[in-house]
Amino acid sequence: MSNKKITQHIITDEALHAQAAIPYQEFLELKQELLEKQRAMEERLWLDSNLSKFDEVIRLNYDKDMATFAEVILEYLSQIIQAVHGAFFVVDNDEEVITAVAGYACTVKTMEKSRFLFGEGLVGQAVKSQKLINVDNIPTRLDSSLAHLSNASLVVSPFIFNQMVYGVLELTTLERLPNKYIDLINRCSQSLATALQSIINNQKTKTLLQESMQQSEELRTQSEEIRQNLEELQAIQEDMHRKELELTGLVQALDSTLAMIEFDLSGHILNANQKFLEVMDYNISEIKGKHHRMFVETNYAKSEEYKEFWEKLGRGVPQISSEFQRYGRNGKEVWLTASYTPVIDNNGDPYKIVKLAIDVSERKKALFDFENQMEAIDKSFAVIEFALDSTILKANDNFLNTVGYQLDEVVGKKHRIFVTPEHAESETYQNLWDNLRKGEFQRGEFPRIHKNGKEIWISGSYNPIFDSNGKLYKIVKFVVDITHLKEKTNKKSPVAID
């Protein structure tokens, strides 16, 4: 049967030769040439088809992270060439380091070696020489990422674009690879180079964008802190609430609203706005170049506290939202609510001090007058404060001496400890507190009970106290002891209100 087929084949060739009318040997050579061209065409079609599929794999996975992208590429190529092991490396040309990011039939952690320097091992040599390396029948362990495999075939292909290596592909098979597979790997490596360059550039762009966003967030946070500090400073002014403004608008608003002066780090005056000059009653030519100590009391200017104040500012430590006593022209006393803020340069070092201030001299004067008046009242009257439910909040010494109690014996107790039990249950007593809770002022002479049980008489008033919103929140009682007057007249005065 076999001989018959051979005979028929020979006849067919001879028949073809006869038709061709050329020498038989030339005919055989022509036939062989045609067969080789056919095989070359088939291999080219196979190569083009697989390259087209490979480009599609790249396109579909282009936007994934590096490790995922590398795993997909490894698996696709390993299946085509029937590899038993593979590794995908990325090249850091700045550090001259080659690092594995994915593996086939292994992980980066289980690789024999996952990091190479340029020129180190076959992976490093492929990068250094920028050439594909193919080693067949490996007899012993090589310096690569693969585990020990006897008689294996190894291909190490660098990804080259514009004479720059961006990555390396290492594949291991149990049999020697045909040339068409080597060509496929080489061509795929070229496509991978451009893809990897784009991925790396995209990652760098993403990193730069993230850094830029982080810096923007830090600047936004710093801007918010400055805005909050300024709001705290401006909150001292009645009904002044400011929103965050653009930097130029904020500087203009500050200059027209606040007294502002600038110093060098040692305390010498650099500049001051008109508001500050008006408050201190100076011209700019009279203070520029002089030291801040011209605004403070002489002894304070010589103190360690004053020295430390400027040392802290020189180190960049702000002095914020405090009240300072200062002196203008001819010893004019001025009270300022102010902040001393170090201004930082691009290197993070302070280079000048900016003081923002509000003149609170009139408010301070009114506060001193009020405190003096309250001190006089405290010395002259017995004073006690109650919550709206008659719970005692506090009392001064005059009141405690009048009723014979210590402060801790009355705070938290009810007012009724100063009256008889019968009177505490009376309608008159209930009306007293009902009217007070309505915000009605009560005045008169009242009998009360001393701690020792004796009756005493006081004259004074119960005063409802309202908060800034007009809401009643406590009762303050001002009285004087008139027991001695009652004893002299030896009769009871009628009680107006109790």
For residue 106, what is the domain's CATH number? Answer: 3.30.450.40
Range of the domain at 30: 2-45
> Could you give phi then psi for residue 197, rounded to 5 degrees?
-60, -45
Domain edge (last residue) among 152, 171, 205 = 205
Length of the chain: 498
425-439 confidence digits (pLDDT tens) = 999 999 999 999 999
For residue 41, the tally of other CB atoms under 10 A from its CB is 10
For residues 229 and 321, give the distance between their C-alpha atoms in angstroms, rounded to a whole number: 8
- Got the DSSP string for 219-250? HHHHHHHHHHHHHHHHTTSTT-------HHHH
Residues 6+ apart with CB under 8 A from 423: 429, 498
For residues 227 and 469, give the distance between their C-alpha atoms in angstroms, rounded to a whole number: 27
Is 375 a domain residue? no
* Residue 257 identity: T
In which band, very low, low, confident or very high, does the pLDDT at 2 lie, cut at 50, 70 and 90?
Answer: very low
Is 368 a domain residue? no
39-54 confidence digits (pLDDT tens) = 778 778 887 888 888 8
Strand order in the sheet with 85-92: 115-117, 97-104, 85-92, 164-173, 152-161, 133-138
For residues 328 and 250, give the distance between their C-alpha atoms in angstroms, rounded to a whole number: 27
Asked if residue 182 and residue 270 are part of one domain, the reply reads no
> Could you give phi then psi for residue 294, rounded to 5 degrees?
-65, -15
Are residues 354 and 230 in contact, defined by beta-carbon separation less than 8 angstroms?
no
Identify which of 4-13, 86-95, 214-223 has the greatest average pLDDT: 86-95
Is 387 a domain residue? yes
407-422 confidence digits (pLDDT tens) = 999 999 999 999 999 9
Asked if residue 357 and residue 274 are part of one domain, the reply reads yes
In which band, very low, low, confident or very high, does the pLDDT at 1 lie, cut at 50, 70 and 90?
Answer: very low
Are residues 267 and 293 in contact, defined by beta-carbon separation less than 8 angstroms?
yes
The pair of three-digit structure tokens given for residue 479, joined into one six-digit string:
């009285």
Asked if residue 104 and residue 29 are part of one domain, the reply reads no
Residues 6+ apart with CB under 8 A from 201: none
The pair of three-digit structure tokens given for residue 392, joined into one six-digit string:
């005692």
pLDDT value of position 246: 63
For residues 245 and 268, give the distance between their C-alpha atoms in angstroms, rounded to a whole number: 30
Is 139 a domain residue? yes
In which band, very low, low, confident or very high, does the pLDDT at 248 lie, cut at 50, 70 and 90?
Answer: low
Asked if residue 270 and residue 141 are part of one domain, the reply reads no
E runs forming strands in 105-213:
115-117, 133-138, 152-161, 164-173
In which band, very low, low, confident or very high, does the pLDDT at 243 lie, cut at 50, 70 and 90?
Answer: low
User: Which among 463, 458, 465, 498 has a CA at the least distance from the CA of 481?
Assistant: 458
Asked if residue 450 and residue 402 are part of one domain, the reply reads yes
The pLDDT > 70 percentage for the chain reads: 85
Specify the pTM.
Answer: 0.39
> Could you give phi then psi for residue 183, rounded to 5 degrees?
-60, -40
* Residue 80 identity: I
Is 333 a domain residue? yes
Is 225 a domain residue? no
Asked if residue 195 and residue 93 are part of one domain, the reply reads yes
In which band, very low, low, confident or very high, does the pLDDT at 393 lie, cut at 50, 70 and 90?
Answer: very high
Characterize 393-418 residue by residue with b for buried, 16 or more Cβ atoms within 10 angstroms of its Cβ, and e for exposed.
eebbebbbebbebeeeebeeeebeeb
pLDDT value of position 217: 84
Task: Check whether 179 has a pLDDT greater than 80.
Answer: yes
Asked if residue 320 and residue 409 are part of one domain, the reply reads no
Asked if residue 68 and residue 198 are part of one domain, the reply reads yes
Asked if residue 36 and residue 102 are part of one domain, the reply reads no
Task: Check whether 26 has a pLDDT greater than 70.
Answer: yes
Asked if residue 341 and residue 262 are part of one domain, the reply reads yes
Is 373 a domain residue? no
Are residues 122 and 143 in contact, defined by beta-carbon separation less than 8 angstroms?
yes
Domain edge (last residue) among 332, 361, 390 = 361
Which H or E run contains 395?
A: strand 392-395
For residues 172 and 106, give the distance between their C-alpha atoms in angstroms, rounded to a whole number: 12
CATH code of the domain in which 413 resides: 3.30.450.20
Is 422 a domain residue? yes
Asked if residue 200 and residue 111 are part of one domain, the reply reads yes
Domain count, the chain: 4
271-309 confidence digits (pLDDT tens) = 999 989 988 999 999 999 999 999 999 999 999 999 999
For residues 96 and 462, give the distance between their C-alpha atoms in angstroms, rounded to a whole number: 88
Task: Check whether 498 has a pLDDT greater than 70.
Answer: no
Task: Check whether 21 has a pLDDT greater than 60.
Answer: no
pLDDT value of position 58: 85
3-state secondary structure of 169: strand
Asked if residue 68 and residue 41 are part of one domain, the reply reads no
Are residues 96 and 117 in contact, defined by beta-carbon separation less than 8 angstroms?
yes
Mean residue pLDDT across the chain: 83
Domain edge (last residue) among 145, 175, 205 = 205
Task: Check whether 10 has a pLDDT greater than 60.
Answer: no
Strand order in the sheet with 269-272: 269-272, 259-263, 350-359, 333-344, 319-327
